[in-house]
Amino acid sequence: MSILVNLVGIALIALIVWWFWLYRPGTATQANHGAVAITVEDGVYSPSRVRIKPNETAVLRFLRKDPSPCAAMVIFDGLDISEELPVGKPKEISLKVAEAGTYAFTCQMKMYRGELVVAENQEMNHER
């Protein structure tokens, strides 16, 4: 029993070290036809940076694979959105943000952290 507790402790420390010192969020994932699928697993939202357009309804489809209570909620700072995520079942959150900017979304303990970027156009996209 104590070995198990130790293993869990070590895993938790490794996760914290990785999260706070090693992990850097990548580029933002653009909503495709207004929808983005986000997996909730191993302490990260993937993708953790999502870009949507202002004044357009976007759907974030969260799939929580992490059964720990840490991942149970997703809270959007400044948008007055907090939703419970069921384990193994997609949860769709639709939102429409008028004001461009960057909004954080996190779990209730802020271990899971993501960014919602509300912006008109993606600079790196030269497709048209």
In terms of Cα–Cα distance, which of 13, 15, 23 is closest to 47?
23
Q: Least distance in Å: CB of 96 to Cu ion?
A: 26
Residue 15 touches Cu ion, criterion: CB under 5 A: no
Task: Write down how long the chain is.
Answer: 128
Helix (H) or strand (E) holding 15: helix 2-17
Q: Which residue in 52, 38, 46, 13 sits closest to 90, CA to CA?
A: 38
Per CB under 5 A, which region of 30-38, 47-55, 74-82, 102-110 contacts Cu ion?
102-110
Interface of this chain with Cu ion, residues 58 to 77, rule: CB under 5 A: 70
> Measured from the CB atom, is 31 or 114 closer to Cu ion?
114
Shortest separation between residue 116's beta carbon and Cu ion, angstroms: 18
Residues at the site binding Cu ion, with contacts judged by CB under 5 A: 70, 107, 109, 111
